[in-house]
Chain A
Amino acid sequence: DIVMTQSPDSLAVSLGERATINCKSSQSVLYSSNNKNYLAWYQQRPGQPPKLLIYWASTRESGVPDRFSGSGSGTDFTLTISSLQAEDVAVYYCQQYYTTPYIFGQGTKLEIK
């Protein structure tokens, strides 16, 4: 199985400041035939189901604010929130869909400082 490791486990950022969450996979999730990274990011607000934010490592889902961006390739990925808003308090998960079993990272809890 591909192991997904996020860092940090928790993060406190001031409103309006940048938040950065990292995700590392134990093997590459870059599919060479189409040059796509099979990596997604989800946001889970308290008491809610997860919500898809980013797929193909850097493509924003429709309706997701542009303060959310994804980057990285191969085994190292980053989710960046450029200017933290109060509604961004949540747990964020990365997930590989390169191969089954699909595996999520352990989650990063984002709070307001």
Chain B
Amino acid sequence: QVQLQESGPGLVKPSETLSLTCTVSGGSITGHYWSWIRQPPGKGLEWIAYVYSSGSTNYNPSLKSRVTISVDTSKDQSSLKLSSVTTADTAVYYCARGDPARANTFDIWGQGTKVTVSS
């Protein structure tokens, strides 16, 4: 059974770069899309970006200038970098698998990692 685990620092200072990793276990990262989705406290869901296992990417235009997403198939990991963070980037960040047979529907989610931006 495929499981996703997000990891990274829980606290980031304003203007710094947030770096998160999603590790896939119980299955391969190959042949799927890997998205990052965030949820500010008490609010809804915002899709950030996806990377396919081949390395191709797609970004939400609202964040594109600050986001880099990548995949490491040798480690079965996806990574997210968000630069120049502000308090508005405080959120739970989820990694989610997209099923290409269902047009990238998010069928498996990690538990999420809480990131607070504060000095």
Interface residues of A (CB under 8 A from B): 36, 38, 40, 42, 48-52, 55-56, 61, 93, 95, 97, 100-107
A111 CB to nearest chain B CB (Å): 16
Check B110 for interface membership: any CB of A closer than 8 A. Answer: yes
> Contacts A61-B107, A106-B44: A101 and B60 contacting too (C-beta < 8 A)?
yes
Check B2 for interface membership: any CB of A closer than 8 A. Answer: no
> Contacts A38-B103, A52-B106, A56-B102: A100 and B111 contacting too (C-beta < 8 A)?
no
Q: How far is the CA of A69 from the CA of B109 in the complex (A)?
A: 21
Give B106's nearest chain A residue, CB to CB.
Answer: A52
Interface residues of B (CB under 8 A from A): 35, 44-47, 58, 60-62, 94, 102-107, 109-112
Q: How far is the CA of A51 from the CA of B106 in the complex (A)?
A: 8
Is the pair A55, B105 in contact by a Cβ cutoff of 8 Å?
A: yes
Of all A-B residue pairs in the complex, the 6 with the closest CB atoms, nearest first, are A49-B109, A102-B47, A101-B60, A104-B45, A55-B105, A107-B44
Give A101's nearest chain B residue, CB to CB.
Answer: B60
Q: How far is the CA of A48 from the CA of B103 in the complex (A)?
A: 24
Is the pair A101, B47 in contact by a Cβ cutoff of 8 Å?
A: yes
- Identify 6 residue pairs between A and B in the complex whose beta-carbon atoms are under 8 Å apart, listed by A's number: A36-B103, A50-B94, A50-B109, A102-B47, A102-B104, A107-B45
Main secondary structure of the interface of A (DSSP, over half): loop
Is the pair A40, B61 in contact by a Cβ cutoff of 8 Å?
A: no
* Complex contacts, A36 vs chain B, CB 8 Å: 103
Is the pair B111, A49 in contact by a Cβ cutoff of 8 Å?
A: yes
Is the pair A101, B62 in contact by a Cβ cutoff of 8 Å?
A: yes
Q: How far is the CA of A50 from the CA of B84 in the complex (A)?
A: 28
Q: Which of B44, B110, B111 has the most CB of A within 10 A?
A: B44
Is the pair B58, A100 in contact by a Cβ cutoff of 8 Å?
A: yes
Contact of A93 among B35, B44, B61, B103 (CB under 8 A): B44
B52 CB to nearest chain A CB (Å): 13
Q: How far is the CA of A50 from the CA of B111 in the complex (A)?
A: 9
Q: How far is the CA of A38 from the CA of B106 in the complex (A)?
A: 12
